[in-house]
Amino acid sequence: MGVTKTEIFTVEQNRVAELAKAFAHPARVAILQLLARKKACICGDLVDVLPLAQATVSQHLKELKRIGIIRGDIDPPRVCYCINEPVWEEARQVFGKLLDTLMVAGCC
Amino acid sequence: MGVTKTEIFTVEQNRVAELAKAFAHPARVAILQLLARKKACICGDLVDVLPLAQATVSQHLKELKRIGIIRGDIDPPRVCYCINEPVWEEARQVFGKLLDTLMVAGCC
DNA sequence: TATTCTCATCGTAATAGTACGATAATAGAA
DNA sequence: TTCTATTATCGTACTATTACGATGAGAATA
């Protein structure tokens, strides 16, 4: 997406943005739902369920792993992907806190 | 970001992704925090606080308005941006529900 | 009417993201 | 060792996003 001046924002703001990115694409939402609900965890099963090419799914999994919200345990020749609970919990906290803070009363 | 085959995912998955996009950039997180905490709501004040050009801030505001999470009430020559509470609440529900659904117990 | 203030939009440049086919890598099985 | 199954990575094409300067639009005021 262009450049994004991460250095001018707080660590917290950048982390929120990063975690939000995990959910900012419908394919990744689908993957995370499947993993969270234990409907699938083997990479190949995800590929079968999702109407996307294997390379594309693998790319999304890599991004989710980079963010830290999933783990990938290799079990040759397969790889089992799972939700990384501490980071999932972090997301719960971060979004919960953010969305719970809403001053009402209008100014306009 | 390239193409994104929205038609192959559920309405819910696409909506989650859309709402997540509101938070998927640190500048938008900063804007939403300012609005939610009533630290600012006039476009010009946001521009003063954020170390970004006016055009860039305006672009982010437009995107947030497109998603529906903020409103823009014009009060010439100013524009007052506010959190759109129903959509904010929708985000709370959506992320809450999604992040609360986590089957534990390992499969790998 | 001319000016000023505020904000939106346009045009542009550069980077990031999405998707896929082809190919490489890895390890177990034959 | 050779083959097979599974997943990662590479290369490529195309679209989306980010950022900014410049300009336009709108309304109040001089």
Do residues A64 and A46 touch, judged by C-beta distance below 8 A? no
* Nucleotide closest to A55 measured between CA and C1': C20
Q: Confirm or reject contact between B99 and chain A (CB < 8 A).
A: yes
Q: Where are the beta strands (DSSP E) in chain A?
A: 70-75, 78-83
Query: A60-74 as b/e, with b when 16 or more CB fall inside 10 Å?
Result: bbeebeebbbbbbee
Structure tokens at B15: 């909506």
Question: A59 and A31 in contact (C-beta within 8 Å)?
Answer: no
Q: How confident is the model at residue A106 (pLDDT cuts 50, 70, 90)?
A: low
Q: Show which positions of strand C are touched by protein (CB under 7 A).
A: 5-11, 13-22, 26-28
| Stretch 23-52 of chain B: residues touching chain A, C-beta under 8 Å | 23-30, 32-33, 36-38, 41, 51-52
Taking the CB of residue A19, how many other CB atoms lie within 10 A of it? 23
pLDDT tier for residue B25 given thresholds of 50, 70 and 90? very high
By C-alpha distance, which of A69, A71, A43 is closest to A57?
A: A43
Contact B92 A100 (CB under 8 A): yes
A4 CB closer than 7 A to any strand C atom: yes
Six-digit token string for B81:
């941006």
pLDDT band at A105 (very low <50, low <70, confident <90, very high): low
Q: Is the pLDDT of residue B101 over 80?
A: yes
**B100 CA to centre of own chain:** 21
Q: Write the pLDDT tens digit of every residue in A25-83.
A: 999 999 999 999 988 899 999 999 999 999 999 999 999 999 999 999 998 889 999 99
Q: How many CB pairs under 8 A join A and B?
A: 143
Q: Facing residues of A75 across strands?
A: A78
Using CA of residue B87, residue B17, residue B21, residue B67, what is the dihedral sign? Answer: negative
Distance from CA of B10 to the nearest CA of A (A): 8
A92 phi and psi, to 5 degrees? Answer: -60, -45
Taking Cα atoms as reference points, which of A18, A1, A20 lies closest to residue A10?
A18
